[in-house]
Chain A
Amino acid sequence: MSLESPLLPALIMIFGTILIGLLPSLLRSFTFILLPLISLACLWSQPSVSNLSLVFGTIFTLVASLGGVYAWHLNDRLQQMAALLYAGAAVGVVLVKDFYSLFIFWELMAIGSTYLIWARKTPESAQTGMRYLLNHIFGGGLLFAGILLHVHQTGSTALQALPDNFDLSSLLILAGVALNTAIPPLHAWLPDAYPKATLTGSVFMSAFTTKSAVYVLMILFPGWDMLVGLGVLMTLYGVAYAILANDIRSILSYHIISQVGYMVTGVGIGTQLALNGAAAHAFCHILYKSLLFMGAGTIIHATGKSKLTELGGLASSLRLPLFLYMIGAVSISGFPLFNGFTSKSLIIASAGEAHYEWTLLLLLLASTGTFLSVGLKLPIFTWLGTAKTPHTVKTLPQGMLVAMSITSLLCFLFGVYPSLLYRFLPYPVTYQPYTVYHLVETTQILLFTFLGFWLLRKKLVGEDSLVLDVDWFYRKSGKYFKYVFVDFTAFIFSQVALTVHKITDASILYFNRKDNNTSASIYTVSAGTLLLLALLGLAFFK
């Protein structure tokens, strides 16, 4: 294979899955870190990769390697293989040029990521993983149906922008991609699954599925107006549910929906500044969100607990994770000097530039909610105060802290030198994030969000209850679906099988009997055969 093969960076990781499956523990962890870096080098040596693919491919390989550092202590062959397959498939999604290849990598991602939930090996994760898989099979089905229709209509398999004319093939593709982007009401798999995945698994999951879907949205649906409304809905929906959530990884999961909402809004606005913003925000979001999930992972690893109502009083024993988590928290909240400030503002500015004034205000409103939950509620109720339940604190593996430290540095680096990222965005960037206006706006919003939190801090404590989301529709109706499509169907088939059995038995008995009552047996066999034929006919013609 030529080194100029556009898919080589993805294939290195996907076939590397087999290699790490054969290696002993320590070498496996090392190779896991190395393979994405080789992919990264290979990606940068490709002459024909677009800037957009380069930005997404770079951050995917980088975070896969950082995830490998975080999971250095892990000795779970299958989980490591699944994580690398998942990461490699995500890299594939952002490198492909045609629909069919996209679909293959899309499904590989679903397979790899599902195992990251099952690898937790609890009854809850087994059920959640199945729901996650069914959701993604459904989404993949929508995507594939749309692809087939699109290819049938146009004769083209090339991935290119689809006209904003709401034809069925485009809508099916959009629905399939929207499921992976976690656009409500197709989002419920995300906050259902991510909190139940393994600690290292959720770090990977926070990076790949939704962001690879944002990439596909950017390629296929730039400037689709409906995405502006859906994106704003996502930003506020995620924020509202995060205020209600009690599990620390649920809070972070809902904030993935919220942050991806900014990107979806950017895709909907569709101007050069907005698309640059969507790409830059995906890049920066992956860094700080994986850092936040790493931070949540340290808490769960050290204490075995994940609920705000059970945590607290950890500031002295887990000081360094708190510091590193807070770098992720101030980054997502858009503090100056950190990468959220330099990426989110591109999208917000693009809304202003395109005269989406209420969109701009609602995005700013969502950013107050982000600071409220991720920057204040989660760390204060997790690390500060007194422990709400007794817990011992286990020592953290060094790899976890090293990975968090490197990721924190990157959040800071891209906050201080945004041009490091801006120069590789799809379109030329003239936007300057460090203006007096932007600094004043951010300072005022953050300061007074803090004041609002402080006044309501007693109201915002975690509550140990379940909060319904749209997964209620399939989780509650699931048993009825199972009854109709599984249990009832199985009953019918078992009855048919039983009847056939009886007829066969009767026939054998008849032909073997020496002094049989011919007429009675003939009636039995005939009646049985007729019944069998009737049942078969019914099944066939239905």
Chain B
Amino acid sequence: MKTWHWVLLGILAALSLIVELAVLYGHGHHWWSVIPGFYILWGFLGSLVLAYTSKWFGHTFLSRDKDYYEP
């Protein structure tokens, strides 16, 4: 990742947050509509939780040697 990639991502994130607060805030009809930047949190925490949980579950219970089913 080059610096300009991060800058671009930062601009997009800031823009989405500005639009959310200026246009959308207070107009949603879900319980989470009052939480500013909720989808930022959901995307970020969701990806971390999915990755960690899956890997932990996989390593703890499901991973076997690749020849496990060989007779």
- Contact code string B13-54 (vs A, CB < 8 Å = 1, else 0): 100110110011001111110000101111111111011111
Please tell me if A138 contacts chain B, counting CB pairs below 8 Å.
no
Choice from B9, B19, B27, B46 contacting A447 with Cβ under 8 Å:
B9
A364 touches B46 (CB 8 A): yes
A468 touches B48 (CB 8 A): no
A residues less than 8 Å from B58 (CB atoms) = 243-244, 467
A369 touches B47 (CB 8 A): yes
A456 touches B62 (CB 8 A): no
B residues less than 8 Å from A368 (CB atoms) = 42-43, 46-47, 50
Q: How far is the CA of A451 from the CA of B52 in the complex (A)?
A: 15
Number of A residues contacting the other chain (C-beta, 8 Å)? Answer: 43
Number of B residues contacting the other chain (C-beta, 8 Å)? Answer: 44
Please tell me if A539 contacts chain B, counting CB pairs below 8 Å.
no
Please tell me if A287 contacts chain B, counting CB pairs below 8 Å.
no
Please tell me if A517 contacts chain B, counting CB pairs below 8 Å.
no
A244 touches B39 (CB 8 A): no
A residues less than 8 Å from B52 (CB atoms) = 456, 459
Q: How far is the CA of A436 from the CA of B17 in the complex (A)?
A: 12
A466 touches B68 (CB 8 A): yes
Please tell me if A445 contacts chain B, counting CB pairs below 8 Å.
yes
A444 touches B28 (CB 8 A): no
- Contact code string A216-245 (vs B, CB < 8 Å = 1, else 0): 000000000000000000000001110110
Q: How far is the CA of A459 from the CA of B49 in the complex (A)?
A: 13
Choice from B37, B44, B61, B64 contacting A451 with Cβ under 8 Å:
B44
| Binding site secondary structure of chain B | helix
Q: Most chain-A CB neighbours within 10 Å: which of B37, B51, B66?
A: B51
A residues less than 8 Å from B63 (CB atoms) = 244, 463, 465-468
Please tell me if A164 contacts chain B, counting CB pairs below 8 Å.
no
Q: How far is the CA of A241 from the CA of B17 in the complex (A)?
A: 32
Q: How far is the CA of A364 from the CA of B41 in the complex (A)?
A: 12
Please tell me if A488 contacts chain B, counting CB pairs below 8 Å.
no
Please tell me if B57 contacts chain A, counting CB pairs below 8 Å.
yes
| Given contacts A436-B19, A440-B16, A444-B16, A456 and B42 within 8 Å (CB-CB) | no
- Contact code string A366-395 (vs B, CB < 8 Å = 1, else 0): 001101100000000000000000000000
B57 touches A240 (CB 8 A): yes
Q: How far is the CA of A450 from the CA of B24 in the complex (A)?
A: 24
Beyond A444-B16, A447-B40, A449-B47, 8 extra complex contacts between A and B, CB < 8 Å = A239-B54, A243-B54, A368-B47, A436-B24, A437-B28, A440-B20, A447-B9, A469-B62
